[in-house]
Amino acid sequence: MEASTTILSNGIGLIYLPSASPVSYTGLLINTGSRDEKPHEIGIAHMMEHMLFKGTLKRKPYHILTRIDDVGGELNAFTTKENTFLYAAFLKEYTSRAFELLADITFHSTFPQRELEKEKAVVIDEINAYRDDPSEEISDDFDQLVFRNHSLAENILGTPSSVSSFTSHSLHDFHKRTYTTDQMVLCYIGQHTFQEVIQEACHYFERVPSSSRSFVRKKFSGYKPKTLIHEKDNHTCHGMMGNIAYPVKSKYRLAFYMLNHLLGGPSLNSRLNLNIREKFGLTYFLESNYTPFDDTGLWWVYYASDYRNFDRTRQLIRKELNKLCCEGLGVIQLDKLKKQVKGQLALASESPSHLLHVASRSFLLFRQFESMQQTLKKVEKITSSDLMHVANQVFDELQCSELMYVSKP
């Protein structure tokens, strides 16, 4: 799938990926997330995502929510620590409808106070639901532990107190400061030609005046490992251990992505799954994750078990980490890992919504989109020494932070 790209006159990027499917997809990536919030705005990026669906200069919420659904399509959005992504799926003949709607809610939302009050209750309920789930709560608390005193530490949803304080005026201020055209990328996947997509994009998005971001993201620095243990009145004990890792533009990002996949990625043959869960039956919840950001990254292992098996599970995880630091992969093991990673990357590229987001972020960061063949060639060049190098940098026990929710019988 070969990508074509251009930049509209107002600075909005456009990336096009051809597809033979009768279903088309489009997404708009806005380079703003929870890390761009000021101290009194915690959770406002996520609230903004919700409020984009609550009214524009010419549409009420009902008309936004049914505009794509009425023709059998889907409209959705999500917020991360660095991005907000709006996306839609629809039949090819409704491309103009989708482009027009995305442009309308992005640039002409009114954030009515009446709708905001209703949405505050919805988001606060969402926050409380997460707090009821220890596996979600510990993830947020671990961010606080690692990134303390930085905006990356804050919960994307915000707090009940911060959410309650938002007004229509504060949303307008955040929108003006962060939703600038130089920080947006529009992506399309479908049967239309590149020229047809350019025409649609120009018609609906280029009429918006150009705007530029006036602030620079505060870089994260000063990480210090820390261990915290909290007593909780839960049946299950929960733990996370992790470290800062490589940023998105690091030359080591792909090698570490592969290493994390081997350790505890989504596959059933990960080392954590085979050597702890399957071998000893100590835990059901066991995974590792790696998230690269603009200027840093975060890696963690999450595990949960009853009190009797909790410490043993923790020690076995440490054992697996030490193995990856001290024992290089053999030729057969490395070849097996590469085949698996290539397959997983190819499968992920078959998800249009995933591809929309990846392509948009790639163009935002690098002003290009790497083809699957180019990525697979890079995977092939990774060596066992590369994997050991990143393992020793990130899995160093002395540099890891730990957070534990301990429940005693």
385 and 336 both lie in a single domain? yes
pTM: 0.94
Burial 1-28 (b: 16+ CB within 10 A, else e): eebbbeebebbbbbbbbbbeeebbbbbb
For the record, the structure tokens of 138 come out as 């510990």
125 and 199 both lie in a single domain? yes
Burial 341-366 (b: 16+ CB within 10 A, else e): beeebeeebeebbebbbbbbbbbbee
User: What is the helix (H) or strand (E) element at residue 104, kind and residue range?
Assistant: helix 95-107
199-227, pLDDT tens digit by residue? 999 999 999 999 999 999 999 999 999 99
Q: Choose the final residue of a domain: 151, 173, 205.
A: 205
Q: Is residue 215 part of a domain?
A: no
> Which long-range CB contacts under 8 A does 342-351 form with residues at least 24 apart?
342/376, 342/379, 344/261, 344/265, 344/266, 344/267, 345/372, 345/375, 345/376, 345/379, 346/372, 349/1
Q: Is residue 97 part of a domain?
A: yes
What average pLDDT does the structure give for the chain?
Answer: 96
Q: Choose the final residue of a domain: 151, 172, 205.
A: 205
Q: Is residue 302 part of a domain?
A: yes
142 and 231 both lie in a single domain? no
384-401, pLDDT tens digit by residue? 999 999 999 999 999 999
- Domain count of the chain? 2
What is residue 240's three-state secondary structure? strand
Cβ-count burial of 268 within 10 angstroms (0-12 exposed, 13-18 middle, 19+ buried)? Answer: exposed
166 and 233 both lie in a single domain? no
163 and 302 both lie in a single domain? no
195 and 245 both lie in a single domain? no
Q: Is residue 177 part of a domain?
A: yes
176 and 248 both lie in a single domain? no
244 and 172 both lie in a single domain? no
Q: Is residue 216 part of a domain?
A: no
Query: For residues 392 and 62, what is the distance between their CA atoms, to the nearest angstrom?
Result: 54
170 and 233 both lie in a single domain? no
Mean pLDDT of 379-385: 97
370 and 269 both lie in a single domain? yes
12-35, pLDDT tens digit by residue? 999 999 999 999 999 999 999 999
Q: Is residue 263 part of a domain?
A: yes
Q: Is residue 69 part of a domain?
A: yes
30-66, pLDDT tens digit by residue? 999 999 999 999 999 999 999 999 999 999 999 999 9
- State the residue range of the domain holding 271: 227-406
Q: Is residue 220 part of a domain?
A: no
Mean pLDDT of 325-351: 95
238 and 367 both lie in a single domain? yes
pLDDT of residue 235: 84
200 and 240 both lie in a single domain? no
The domain spanning residue 132 has which CATH number? 3.30.830.10
Q: Confidence class of residue 1 from pLDDT cuts 50, 70 and 90?
A: low
Residue 279 has pLDDT above 80, yes or no: yes
